[in-house]
Structure 1
Amino acid sequence: MFDCNPVDTPMECGVKLSKFSNGIKEYQTLFKSLVGSLRYLTCTRPDILFAVGVVSRYMEAPTSTHMKAAIRILRYLKGTIDFGLSYSSSHDFQFMGFCDSDLPETLMIEKAPPDLCFSWEIVASLGVQKSNPL
């Protein structure tokens, strides 16, 4: 795949993949390994999430048409190698609490105090990162 031509989109527009396509049967273990690796990559590359989801539907009986669609995703990744999400937690933890009902009204009508829920929340900034080639 080092010498492949990159493409602009991870999936062709209007492509119709089917479980009953007439293509040549592909090696199932290789296809499952490729799709599994692509699914792992979707954590930092959400732009390929839809295409990987479509391709992963056909892991039971992959054909050459399905393999070509998966290889197109790899060609897209080659052209957009500098894209991705970066997760950073430069902010501190914040303590947040909320109540599921109106506390003053509950105390006024003499009901038991409502359950209060508190949780720790990590405030993280998400950003798309792209390196500019020199």
Structure 2
Amino acid sequence: MKTFGYKQSNSDHTLFLNRRKGKLTALIIYVDDMIVIGDDQEEAKKLEDYLSSEFKMKDLGGLKYFPGIELARSEEGIFLSQRKYVLDSLTEIGMLAWKPADTLMEQNRKLGEYLNQVPANKETYQRLDGRLMYLSCTHPDIAYAVSVVSQFMHSPSEAHMNVVYRILSYLKSTRGKGIMFSNNGHLEVLGYTDADWAGSITDRRSISGYFTFVGGNLVTWRSKKQKIVARSSAEAEYRGMAQGICEMLWLCNLLKDLGFKPKQAMNLSCDNKASIDIAHVQSSSTLQTQTC
């Protein structure tokens, strides 16, 4: 790609960009599949011919399906879902006839290591957990639950497997849902963070979560256990804010590579007053980070 005049993005090394006469052509790679997008049809055709001369490839036309992700276009925007992937996952493990669940987990349910319980099949557990991780691409609502069950892949028990089944049952009732991307007339970047203090009953570490919007569209989200034990809820929330800031700076650099540098401050929201006060003391612009 570099030989052909494309520039590799520093924000995402699978993304290659080419600008010509004010137009942009982008190619992004996932294993041995790729997507070409842009407003320069002539350059896109040249790229296709060049790649075809280097190795065997097949043009599948307009993007409708990309490894497990379905794409539909309408006047309202672009809709991403994984309906077929959900159904295939349920069929594989014989859950297609199971009753759908309305919720992901029991309220306030905390999972730990249960040495006195019957061990679950590790290979099956890890395979299902991997599928759930991929389903998180269009289901941000399962991100927290998946991050919880992923902590026990080394030694799953019956209780952990039951939660995995519960998540899959929930996905059966929400299989048609997904993510909508619409043109809202702006590219404002917003971030939201949260954390639960000492949420893990195993090691007392907290779990942080964040999600970000670009132009009014949800683009990234994550739920992950923090690396150290926080001594207070304020510390846990503050560390969560730091992770959110890192994500927003990454988004800023990616937008800059694409030629859409944010023109205004990026706003980060947090619901912990103590953490916000600490941030303001350290920097007067913490919650409105400077644009790149």
TM score, norm. by length of structure 1 = 0.64
Taking the aligned partners of 2:121 and 2:108, their CA distance within structure 1 comes to 26
Please state how far the C-alpha of 1:78 moved relative to its aligned partner.
0.5
Deviating above 3 A after TM superposition, structure 1's stretches of 4 or more consecutive aligned residues are none
1:45 to 139, 148, 151: 139
Taking the aligned partners of 1:6 and 1:29, their CA distance within structure 2 comes to 24
Larger Rg: 1
Taking the aligned partners of 2:110 and 2:116, their CA distance within structure 1 comes to 12
1:36 to 111, 130, 135: 130
Say if 1:28 and 1:60, in contact at 8 Å, map to a contact too: yes
- The aligned counterpart of 2:172 is 78
Say if 2:117 and 2:158, in contact at 8 Å, map to a contact too: yes
Q: Which amino acid aligns with 2:260?
A: E
List runs of 5+ in structure 1 lacking aligned partners: 95-116, 123-134
Say if 2:119 and 2:157, in contact at 8 Å, map to a contact too: yes
Q: Which amino acid aligns with 1:77?
A: L
Q: Number of residue pairs matched? A: 98
Taking the aligned partners of 2:179 and 2:103, their CA distance within structure 1 comes to 18
Please state how far the C-alpha of 1:14 moved relative to its aligned partner.
2.0
> Structure 1, residues 58-78: CA drift from partner, whole Å, max 9, x if none?
100000100000000000000
Q: Which amino acid aligns with 1:121?
A: F
Which has a greater percent of strand?
Answer: 2
Q: Within the alignment, does 1:57 sit opposite 2:151 as a pair? A: yes
- The aligned counterpart of 2:118 is 24
Structure with the greater relative contact order (CA < 8 A, sep ≥ 6): 1 or 2?
Answer: 1
> Structure 1, residues 86-113: CA drift from partner, whole Å, max 9, x if none?
447x79xx9xxxxxxxxxxxxxxxxxxx
Task: Give identity over the alignment, percent.
Answer: 38
User: 1:85 aligns to what SS in structure 2?
Assistant: strand
Report matched runs for 1:1-134 at 5 Å: 1-87=95-181, 119=256, 120-121=259-260
Say if 1:26 and 1:67, in contact at 8 Å, map to a contact too: yes
Taking the aligned partners of 1:15 and 1:73, their CA distance within structure 2 comes to 13
Q: Which moved more, 1:70-79 or 1:22-31?
A: 22-31
Say if 2:114 and 2:157, in contact at 8 Å, map to a contact too: no
Please state how far the C-alpha of 1:16 moved relative to its aligned partner.
2.4
List runs of 5+ in structure 2 lacking aligned partners: 1-94, 188-252, 262-292
